[in-house]
Structure 1
Amino acid sequence: MTRWWSQTAGGLPRTFWYLWTATLINRLGSFVAIYLGVYLVSVRGLSPAYAGIVIGLHGAGSAAGGVLGGIVADRWGRRPAMLTGNVAAAAAAMALGLSGHPVAIAALTLLLGLCLGVARPAFTATVIDVVGERDRLRALTLNYWAINIGFAVAATVAGLLVRVQPLLLFAINAAVLLGTAALIGLTVPESRPAPVTVAQVARVDSGGLGTVLRDRVFLTFTALTGLAWLCIESSAMLPVALQADGLPASAFGPVIAVNGLMIVLGQLFVPRLIGRFDRSRTVAVAVVVIGAGFALTALADAVWFYALTVGVWTLGEMLMTPSNSALTADLAPAAQRGRYQGVYSLGHAFASFAGPTLGGLVAARFSTDVLWLGLFGLALLVAVGNLLAVRPRARRIAALRAAAAPAALREAAALA
């Protein structure tokens, strides 16, 4: 066990562990995003429809903030984006908890999503900056593990806080965001790679997204990732399927808990399982597993069967997520990592909105069984797309490494 832990978590730089700790702390206190809908309906007395709109605004703000934060991270630095984003998000969270007017709640929710989004691309870009290419899959997997541990704990604690004093959701979340900013400010140095060529200087100084938007390989990758996540986000329709089978709505809790439990207990075994395989092919296999899990859901008629199907598509999620994160790092030029991360986040933002929305429409117009089988078909198409992209991505990665090699040699010579 000691040897396995050393191979899983050993040898990573100290800065990464500061970032990992910041992730865990941040997610342990992410109460607002988890319980916002419940708070708006049960505490503020707003309609479910309005609560849905407000939650959608949070997602829209996060998507816009991701793009903006990526540009800030590349042009002015990782630290300014992370520190400004977390401190501003803390202020927005506290103001949201104190606000009772529906318009103010909507505006502050949009602002909160925007500020949180600003910090995220810089955070991931910093992890990529400080961890060597050989160890990135391990590092990104460990970070994903911390996210899920924090989410599981936060979901439990938030349920208790909303009963005791709803304002605590916002006050503690704000304090955690400030604590995250303090930890980063005190321990994490600026890691943005210095541009070494005239072309790199011009691209960074332009501050725009032109480089990313002209990168067809990366945009295709982002689109395929978004469609894969759309399948997972459509699991929001599981309570509808449970009720259609005559099962209690309360069964959704233990069923979906399988997802978090598997990730927390098993995610650290994934890097050794997939590390030696091509990442695009691994993603293709993972997406097929995700699709198979949802196809099985069409056959489920008991709580244990539904839990089994969640376990199947969760296995696919566990294989896909670190592989996609590593591919994002591989496909992004060092000088534009922030904005590449920002654009990549749009795929997940799209899925967070489209999964429940389109899933609900299909379930209402046809049935949940049609939805699950449709997701299986979509997953197969995404898998084929990833297989077709193997060679273009390999050429893109090889070109980036070839371009980076002279810069690395010049930096080493300068240090010598």
Structure 2
Amino acid sequence: MRGWLRATAGGLPSAYWYLWAGLLINRLGGFAVLFLSLYLTTQRGAGTAMTGLIVGTYGIGGVIGTLAGGVLADRWGRRRTLVWSHLACAVVLAGLAFAGNLGLIAALCALMGLAQSMPGPAFVAAIIDLVPADRRLRAFNLEFWAFNLGTAGASLVAGVLAEWSYIGLFLLDAASALAAALIIAGRVPETLRRPPPAIQQDRRGRAPATGSAARAATGTGTASGAGADSASSDGGLRAVLGDRIFLAFAGLTLLQALVYTQNNTIVPLAMREDGLSPSAYGLVVAVSGALIVVGQLFVPRLIDNRPKARVLAAAQAITAVGFGVIVLADHLPVYLAAAVIWTIGSMLAAPPNAAINSELAPAALRGRYQAVFYLTFPAAAFLAPALGGASLQYLGSWHWLVVAGVGLVAAVLHLAAGPSRERHAAAIRSETAATAEVR
């Protein structure tokens, strides 16, 4: 048992564990997004399509918040970005608890998306800063585990709270965001390290010679090499947006997110149409989270030394099957079975997805790379309910076959993109090592 614990959670710095604790506490109170669509339909009288559009404003705010969070993480610092975004989130959630007008709720949903998306790039950038490369798969696996442990705990309580008081639900969510801000402010140091001035790229865009040498050696010529690694804050996002292999990976992650986001946007609406209560949906979320809590710590041993592209392809195919099963669902047991299948897919996908993301990000642009990567989630948070709400309304249960098809397409594309992505990651590692030697 001690050996398994060391292999699963050992060798990580204390600051990482405070970040981990802040994420866990935040998710334990993460009720609002899970039950927002039910809140709008049952408490505010919004129709299915209108609910999808209002919930979609969360994604619009998330796009802005993710970009801002990435830039601030690189310029202002990881710790400040995390603390102030959590504080802002607490304020917005408190306002949402008492908002009654649908227009005001939509505006607050957009602000909530902004505030809740800002910490993402800073969280991941701080983990990459703190944790050595050979331990990051472990760190990201534990991060995903904490996220779902908190979500499982939240869903167990939130289903009951939703039937008692939505105001209390939003206020508890605000309190958890405040608690996370206090932990990070008190225990997590700033991890952003500026490169020495002698090797920083000058204002005219010159980069250290090591970058071109490394690119020549590896046969790559992307904008994400040492030039990007040593880039100043000016033009940083342009460098990220010029990295085609990274953008292709982010696009595949968007397809993955479009499928998985059905879980907390469209699935509760489908369950309501089948006459199931909010607590039934809470049970589905809780089962999914409990499965992750029990099984996620064993995932690294299943996928270690396996090609990441193949693992992601298998994970996407399993997730697609899980949502496709909902075509047959009209009772709670079928929804629970579907949740088990799609959760297994998400468990397998999380560690390699995060590891690839960290491998493709040059050190000096980690915040910005995470920002562009994390754009996929608010984009999915907008597209999934906006398109899915209308699709469910007009296609009925056939909607879930469309969702499954998207997941299978993502699986095939991961297999096709894997080799070039591995070569690109090797080039980044080579250039980062060369830059470290210069420093």
Q: Indicate the residue corresponding to 2:399 in structure 1.
A: 371
Q: Does 1:400 align with 2:428?
A: yes
Q: What is aligned with 1:317?
A: 346
Structure 2 Cα separation of the partners of residues 118 and 305 of structure 1: 36
Q: Is the 8 A contact 2:121 2:368 kept in 1?
A: yes
Match of 2:55 in 1: 55
The amino acid that maps onto 2:72 is: V
Question: AA paired with 1:74?
Answer: D
TM-score normalised over the length of structure 2: 0.83
Q: Give the superposition deviation at 1:168.
A: 3.3
Give the conservation status (yes or no) of the 8 Å contact 1:232–1:355. Answer: no
**What is the CA distance between 1:150 and its match in structure 2?**
1.1
Which residue is equivalent to 1:414?
none
Q: Which aligned pairs between 1:258-273 and structure 2 lie closer than 5 A?
A: 258-273=287-302
Summarize deviations over 1:339-388 as a string: whole Å, max 9, x none. Answer: 111111222223233334434444444442x4333334333321221112
Tell me, yes or no, if the aligned pair for 1:75 and 1:204 is still in contact at 8 Å: no
Structure 2 unaligned residues grouped into runs of 5+: 202-206, 208-227
Q: 1:174 to 1:241 in 2, by over 3 A?
A: closer
- Aligned ranges for residues 57-96 of structure 1 at < 5 Å? 57-96=57-96
Q: Cα offset for 1:300? A: 5.8
| Residue type of the alignment partner of 2:342 | W
Cα root mean square deviation, aligned = 2.8
Q: 2:257 aligns with which of 229, 240, 250?
A: 229
Question: Following the alignment from structure 1 to structure 2, what is the Cα–Cα distance between the partners of residues 35 and 362?
Answer: 20
1:335 corresponding residue in structure 2: 364
* Whole-angstrom CA distance in 1 between matches of 2:396 and 2:32: 32
Does the CA contact (< 8 Å) of 2:58 and 2:381 recur in 1?
no
TM-score computed with the length of structure 1 as normaliser: 0.87
Q: Which residue of 1 aligns with 2:200?
A: 197
Asked if 1:172 corresponds to 2:200, the answer is: no
Q: Which moved more, 1:322-331 or 1:28-37?
A: 28-37
CA distance in 1: counterparts of 2:7 and 2:424, whole angstroms: 29
Structure 2 Cα separation of the partners of residues 300 and 169 of structure 1: 28
How far, CA to CA, are the matches of 1:242 and 1:173 in structure 2? Answer: 24
Match 1:386 to one of 414, 432, 435: 414
In the TM superposition, what is the alpha-carbon distance from 1:402 to its structure 2 partner?
1.1
Deviates more, 1:19-28 or 1:79-88: 79-88
Residue matched to 1:351: 380
Question: Does the alignment pair 1:5 with 2:5?
Answer: yes
- Does the 8 A contact of 2:58 with 2:112 survive in 1? yes
2:149 is aligned to 149
Q: What secondary structure, in the 3-state scheme, does the structure 1 residue paired with 2:190 have? A: coil
Return the alpha-carbon distance in structure 2 between the equivalents of residues 372 and 92 of structure 1: 33
- Give the whole-Å Cα distance in 2 for the aligned partners of 1:143 and 1:187: 17
Q: Is the contact between residue 70 and residue 122 of structure 2 (CA under 8 Å) also seen in structure 1? A: yes
Amino acid at match of 1:214: G
In 2, Cα distance between equivalents of 1:256 and 1:172:
18
Cα distance, 1:101 vs structure 2: 4.5
Mapped partners of 2:229, 2:267: distance in 1: 49
Q: Which residue of 2 aligns with 1:128?
A: 128
SS of equivalent residue, structure 1 residue 179 = helix
Q: Please state whether the residue corresponding to 2:118 is helix, strand or coil.
A: helix
Q: Which amino acid aligns with 1:96?
A: L
**Residues in 2 aligned to 1:82 and 1:320: alpha-carbon distance in whole angstroms:** 25
Higher relative contact order (CA closer than 8 Å, sequence separation 6+) = 2
Give, as a single letter, the amino acid of the residue that structure 2 aligns with 1:395.
R
Deviations along 1:40-94, whole A, 9 cap, x unmatched? 5555x45346554432222221221011110111122112211221122222222
- What one-letter code is carried by the residue in structure 1 that aligns with 2:361? A
Would you say the 8 A contact 1:289–1:316 is kept in 2? Answer: yes
Percent of pairs with identical residues: 41
Residue deviations 1:78-116, cap 9 Å, x none? Answer: 122112211222222223334445444333332222122
Give 1:99-110 correspondences, 5 Å limit: 99-110=99-110
C-alpha distance 234-46 of structure 1, shift in aligned 2 (>3 A) = closer
CA 1:332–1:177 in 2, change beyond 3 Å: closer, same or farther?
A: same
Deviation at 1:13, TM superposition (A): 0.9
Is 1:211 the counterpart of 2:223 in the alignment? Answer: no
Structure 2 Cα separation of the partners of residues 260 and 136 of structure 1 = 22
Deviations 1:94-142 (A, max 9, x none): 2333444544433333222212222221111101111111111111111
What secondary structure does 2:96 align onto? Answer: helix
**How far is the alpha carbon of 1:165 from its aligned partner?**
5.2
Task: Single out whichever of 308-317 and 390-399 deviates more from structure 2.
Answer: 308-317
- The Cα shift of 1:282 comes to 1.1
Measured against aligned partners, the alpha-carbon deviations of 1:205-258 in whole angstroms (never above 9, x if no partner) come to 2165101111111111111111122222334555676688xx652465545543
Alignment map for 1:236-247 (pairs within 5 Å): 237-238=266-267
Q: Distance in 1 between matches of 2:81 and 2:261?
A: 28
Aligned partners of 2:93, 2:57: CA distance in 1, in Å?
14
Distance change >3 Å, CA 25–CA 243, structure 1 → 2: closer
Amino acid at match of 2:249: F
The answer as to whether partners of 2:155 and 2:286 remain within 8 angstroms in 1 is no
